[in-house]
Amino acid sequence: MLKIPWTAKKTNERVLQEAQSKRSLLDKIRKRQATLFGHIMRQEKLENLIITGMMMGRSCRGRQRQKLTDGMAKWLGMGSVVAMLQMTKMRQEWRRLIANAMEQGT
pLDDT for the residue numbered 54: 66
Q: Is residue 44 part of a domain?
A: yes
The residues, any chain, with a CB within 8 Å of residue 16's CB and separated by 6 or more, are: 22, 23
Q: Whole-model pTM above 0.75?
A: no
Domain region containing 92: 23-53+67-106
Query: Is position 11 within any domain?
Result: no
Least confident of 15-19, 48-52, 53-57, 73-77: 53-57
Q: How many residues does the chain have?
A: 106
pLDDT at 40: 87
pLDDT recorded at residue 32? 92
CA pair distance 61, 101, nearest whole angstrom: 34
Question: Is 103 part of a structural domain of the chain?
Answer: yes
Q: Is the pLDDT confidence value at 105 over 80? A: no
Question: What is the count of structural domains for the chain?
Answer: 1
User: Does residue 17 sit within a domain?
Assistant: no
- Note whether residue 4 is domain-resident: no
Q: Is residue 91 part of a domain?
A: yes
With respect to residue 10, please indicate whether it lies within any of the assigned structural domains.
no
